[in-house]
Amino acid sequence: MVGASELVSDMTRLGTYLLKLFAAEAAALFGVALTILYLVQTLRIVEVGAVRDRGLGTLFWQTILGLPPLSIAFLYVCLAVGLARALRALQTSRELHIIHGSQRLPVLIGTILGYAAIGTLLVLLLAHVIEPAAKRESDLISARAAADLVGRSLMPNRFAELGDGVTITVGGRGADGEITSFFADDRRDTATRRTYIADSALITADELGYVLQLKDGTIQYRTATGQFSEISFQRYDIALERLTGAADMGERRGDQSTYAMVTQGFATGDWPSESLRRIAERTADGFRVLALCLFVAAIAAFPSGRRKEPLLPVEITVLGAVLFERAVTSYAPVSGWAHEATGVVVLSVISVMLLVARLRLFVPMPREAHSA
């Protein structure tokens, strides 16, 4: 009993040591990447003037809100490369040989799977919860900035440029904020020119930000070939960020969380293809970590007798696997929501096959076989 307890304690200490080693390498890489991403995000927001005249606090918060989607794109790469670098360090120090020689391979594989599971859950949390929440908050800040811009630009009987390609003018403004004789010309889309004309308008707010409520007017469409169409309305709500952004983003506003989309789907029985695609994309982001960690385990978790480093560094091999997965996802002849998971599934199958093949070579034979 004492021997068994000591063995379990040794395996626990080994697993803890390996997990700390893997996590330290990944955290160091991700820390550097996150710092660079933050600086780039800050420079981008300052350059485009997205929070002009709104203070340094808003600038700082806007840059923080822009990090989650970028973090997702880099985190799974850092987790995989960190694991690969840790395994290479174990190979260089001959610790990997000792682990295999002392028949501690199950501990190594189990720790890698636990590390991959933690990374997968972390990316799933970022993709399904944190990133949509950050996107909604960022949209609200942009909407407030857009409302300020439109409010300053709406001078009676004067044309004003809201941005490149959007011209707006009003006939007057009432004491209650109501706008009369509203006109806006949107030339940002080279294929279709859009003109908004309304007898009155009012800037108001809803749960997603600020909107411009147009009453008793028309929307005119003119294509590049000269075709013309017109739609009349009694009331039409247009998000202000559609008029002030670099391009018209359409009717979609904000970014729903996965919970909201699933709840709405079960409540209404309607599952839009865009919602299914978005849920599949977020889920694939998480399980990409598991697929890459399995791939790294297959190529780097087994000792080698080579004294020299391989010609192709393990980091480049991992990045090649990432590019392969993204290429399969982009060009796979699969339609619908399943398209987003194609690359992850293919890479997972290849990784499992490689790992099983190498395990058959490295798992020692039973003692009975040796005695026979």
Report the chain's C-alpha Rg in angstroms. Answer: 28
- Tell me: the pLDDT tens digits for 286-305? 999 999 999 999 998 888 76
Q: Does the pLDDT value for residue 337 go beyond 60?
A: yes
- Tell me: the pLDDT tens digits for 245-290? 655 555 444 467 788 888 888 888 888 888 888 899 999 999 999 9
For the record, the structure tokens of 154 come out as: 């709406």
In this prediction the pTM is 0.74
The pair phi, psi for residue 247, each rounded to 5°, is -150, 155
Inter-helix orientation angle 55-65/131-153, to 10° = 140
- Mean pLDDT (whole number) for 89-116: 87
For the record, the structure tokens of 7 come out as: 């063995």
Ramachandran quadrant class, 193 (left: phi over 0; alpha: psi -120 to 50; beta: rest): beta
Ramachandran quadrant class, 181 (left: phi over 0; alpha: psi -120 to 50; beta: rest): left
Three-class DSSP category at 247: coil
Q: Does the pLDDT value for residue 48 go beyond 60?
A: no
Q: Which of 162-176, 217-231, 240-254: highest mean pLDDT?
A: 217-231
* Average pLDDT value over all residues in the chain: 80
Determine which helix (DSSP H) or strand (DSSP E) holds 151, and give its type and residue range.
helix 131-153
Three-class DSSP category at 202: strand
Sequence letter at residue 32: V
Q: Does the pLDDT value for residue 1 go beyond 50?
A: no
Ramachandran quadrant class, 216 (left: phi over 0; alpha: psi -120 to 50; beta: rest): left
What is the Cα–Cα distance from 111 to 91, expressed in whole angstroms? Answer: 16
Q: Which of the residue ranges 183-187, 283-287, 358-362 would you say has the lowest mean pLDDT?
A: 358-362
Q: Report the pLDDT value the prediction gives residue 297, as an integer from 0 to 100.
A: 92
Is the distance from CB of 241 to CB of 143 less than 8 angstroms?
Answer: yes
Is the distance from CB of 117 to CB of 27 less than 8 angstroms?
Answer: no
DSSP per-residue string spanning 307-337: SSPPSS-HHHHHHHHHHHHHHHHHH-S--GG
The full set of domain ranges for the chain reads 2-144+267-365, 165-245
Q: Which of the residue ranges 54-68, 103-117, 226-240 would you say has the lowest mean pLDDT?
A: 54-68
Q: Report the pLDDT value the prediction gives residue 225, as an integer from 0 to 100.
A: 81
What is the Cα–Cα distance from 8 to 3, expressed in whole angstroms? Answer: 9
